[in-house]
Structure 1
Amino acid sequence: MFEALRALFRKSDSKPSHSAHKSQASRPKPKVAPTRIGELGEHKITIQLDQLPNDCKSLSDLLLPNPKSRTGYAQIDHVVISPYCVFVIETKNYNGEIKGGRADQQWSVSSRYKMYNPLKQNYGHIKAIESLIKDVAAVKYISMISFTMRCRFSIDPELRKIHSDELVVYDVELSEFISRKLISLKTGSTEPPISVAQIQTIYNHLVQANITDVEIRKLHVQRIKGSKKY
């Protein structure tokens, strides 16, 4: 009787079978949805923009009229209005080696995928903004392309140097590059070329021009996806 009880306790304390471990290990790990990845990326950018000097104003996710665009609009990820310039920021959520130069029509991702040169893309965004605020002030524009840390750069080295007006950065260093660029521009100026009142006026113009209609935004996205098929 005693031996039978001991055998019973040994059985209950034994480890799960190999098949149970195998079944648990074979379960697929939950994947982060692309939309969630995009949200996390934008959240990191928002944190970076929150670190900018108080005399800067920022706007995100603007949809502005742009007759020269295939869709009729320009969708701009972020704009920072400072006393010395306007930063226009395009964010990318790629993973891999980014190759490309200023004059290239297309850049590559890990030599497998092609994307339209983001500097040329952002130039169109800058022209859309310029058409809206050209009567407010003579503005210097700085084009910035932000990639996640999941990328590595094989690009024109000049695009990583602070004297350039076209900059390619990692999302975690965005505020650092903006601050360094402002210091550089401030060094060469006796006083800020854009006044506090002009900063506010530029901000107001962009807010008023921003298209928030959900259906128009959906149509813009559909047209972009449609144009990529050809």
Structure 2
Amino acid sequence: MLKFFKKRNKMETKDTQVKPKQQINKSVTGRSNDELAAVKGQIGEHKIAIQLTQMPKEYRYVNDVMIKNLKSKTGYSQIDHIVLTPYGIFVIETKNYQGTIYGGKDRKTWLVNGKFKFMNPFNQNYGHIKALLQVAGNKYKDHIISMVSFTKRCTFKIDTELRKITSNNLIIYDIELSEFILRKLNVLKIERKKPLLTEEEIDRIYQDLLDANITDPVIREKHNEALNAKAAGSITPNVDQ
């Protein structure tokens, strides 16, 4: 059995429609907007995890990996999903926004509904990839496919290149994750002719990730608190419009 890691609080899972901090709205369930957004985020990531169980058996994957990253302000990077295949390594970041997403690969910040800014998710995933390579080895840097997943509660106004299967930077909906991975692998098989990673390499990287994963709940909680504090200030109204 492949190992799952239970996801705790997630950076940027809060609904972008939240009210000011001093007014914490409660739903009819008694939960705050932040709590409901966190639940939705966990559901979205569970949907992705289910799809990953349906990948070909020779692939390996891990969910919710937290590994050391000396270049991160918290000292760690938390990666939602990693898929190891003979033709490439997929690093997947999940987002729980609702509304229209505006962005481009080279833009520092993206927008939700034209009003709220958030960090370019590919820049965020780049940090995750650098942390992954510290574990797997830098020789795999050209074998990485960066994917960012949004829920179907979003529509995209983004660079069209980010939806093209030929790109190594892909924006997808969570429900189409397995489809995009398999389509991308078909392209890579044509481009690269033969596998880039052997079965032994895949198993070694997989085990190294399991060994490197930080499971200490105290460390994870501190990391998430730092990310949530940063996210609270990063999703701000776009005052330029």
Amino acid at match of 1:202: I
Where does residue 128 of structure 2 map in the other structure?
125
User: Cα deviations across residues 67-98 of structure 1 (Å, max 9, x unaligned)?
Assistant: 11111110100000000110000000110000
Whole-angstrom distance in 1 between the partners of 2:140 and 2:156: 35
Where does residue 223 of structure 1 map in the other structure?
226
Where does residue 210 of structure 1 map in the other structure?
213
Q: Which segments of 5 or more consecutive residues in structure 1 lack a partner in the other structure? A: 1-27
Instruction: Give the CA deviation at 1:53.
Output: 1.5
Which of structures 1 and 2 has the larger relative contact order (alpha carbons within 8 angstroms, sep 6+)? 2
Whole-angstrom distance in 1 between the partners of 2:224 and 2:115: 24
The answer to which structure has the higher helix fraction is 1
TM-score, normalisation: structure 1: 0.83
Whole-angstrom distance in 1 between the partners of 2:51 and 2:66: 21
Change (3 A) 1:34 1:103: same
Whole-angstrom distance in 1 between the partners of 2:61 and 2:209: 10
1:98–1:109 Cα contact (<8 Å) kept: yes
Q: Percent identity?
A: 46
**Aligned counterpart in structure 1 of residue 64 of structure 2, from 49, 57, 61:** 61
**SS of 1:188 mapped into structure 2:** helix
User: Cα deviations across residues 22-78 of structure 1 (Å, max 9, x unaligned)?
Assistant: xxxxxx854872232122111211122122112111100010100111111101000
- Runs of 4 or more consecutive aligned structure 1 residues displaced over 6 Å after TM superposition: none
Are 2:192 and 1:180 equivalent residues in the alignment? no
Where does residue 100 of structure 2 map in the other structure?
97
Q: Which segments of 5 or more consecutive residues in structure 2 lack a partner in the other structure? A: 1-26, 235-241
Where does residue 21 of structure 1 map in the other structure?
none
Whole-angstrom distance in 2 between the partners of 1:136 and 1:189: 16
User: Cα deviations across residues 142-183 of structure 1 (Å, max 9, x unaligned)?
Assistant: 000000000000000000001100000000100000000111
Where does residue 12 of structure 2 map in the other structure?
none
Aligned residues between the structures: 203
Whole-angstrom distance in 2 between the partners of 1:202 and 1:151: 34
| CA-based RMSD | 1.8
Instruction: Give the CA deviation at 1:121.
Output: 0.3
TM-score, normalisation: structure 2: 0.80
Instruction: Give the CA deviation at 1:224.
Output: 1.6
Whole-angstrom distance in 1 between the partners of 2:153 and 2:71: 33
Where does residue 112 of structure 2 map in the other structure?
109
1:101–1:156 Cα contact (<8 Å) kept: yes
